[in-house]
Amino acid sequence: MSNVVFWPDVSHYQVKVDNTFTGQFLMFKVSEGTTYVDPNAAANGTWCLSNAGPGKKLVGYGGYHVWEPGNEQAQATLFFANAKASSHSVAMIDVESWGGKYSGDHSSSITALVNLFEAKFGQKRVKVYGNSGDLANLYPTRPSWLGLVKADYSSSAPPEPWDGWQYTDGSANYPVPSGWPRSSTPFGNCDHNAYYGTIAQFAAEYGIPT
């Protein structure tokens, strides 16, 4: 597992991060739509901000925002105000249909939000998350530079391209590659992601200085 980087993906469903966390990267929920801020976002962001950078525990960290159609500037403003961003942070936009709540091609809306994030973070430090079906249906037309984090709870990786693979939701309902973690301290079982490569390669792919 030396050539795979793992990181948990957490929100208010998990406890707040603390000094027992031993990973090198953490992704946490920041906001959703135009008004909702995750209750743990401030604490998780403050801890990450203090613990990321050369010689520190984390190589970097990320905050994610759950996209809704429309009002993209208000969504970006909400995220920026609560993400605890730094040169060692990345931003991820969560694109999901939520059981059919959203359908059809929303490429223009999502790209508008992506472009607002890119203007602040740069291209490598912006990712979009979703499963292959939602990405194909909701976001079929994407900027060529945009990195994807694909959700596919399986022991086999989803089709390329992807910069990250969310391979488990932490439950025992789906298989995972042999030896790969479903849990991290202090969070317990939760969503976990993987990147094929070293931590230095991961940092370069995500635009994080080392």
Give the β-pairing of 4-10 and 25-32.
parallel
Measured distance CA(147)–CA(205) in Å, rounded = 9
CATH topology of domain 4-205: TIM Barrel (3.20.20)
Measured distance CA(166)–CA(143) in Å, rounded = 21
Measured distance CA(185)–CA(23) in Å, rounded = 9
Residues 6+ apart with CB under 8 A from 107: 138, 139, 140, 141, 142
Q: What are the tokens at 92?
A: 């991820």
Q: Residue 184 belongs to what H/E stretch?
A: strand 183-184
Confidence (pTM)? 0.97
Measured distance CA(44)–CA(165) in Å, rounded = 22
Break the chain into its structural domains and give their ranges. 4-205
Per-residue pLDDT of the chain (210 residues; tens, 9 = 90+): 469 999 999 999 999 999 999 999 999 999 999 999 999 999 999 999 999 999 999 999 999 999 999 999 999 999 999 999 999 999 999 999 999 999 999 999 999 999 999 999 999 999 999 999 999 999 999 999 999 999 999 999 999 999 999 999 999 999 999 999 999 999 999 999 999 999 999 999 999 998
Buried b (16+ CB within 10 A) or exposed e, 95-110: bbbeeeebeeebeebb
CA 193 to chain centre: 9
pLDDT in tens, 26-78: 999 999 999 999 999 999 999 999 999 999 999 999 999 999 999 999 999 99
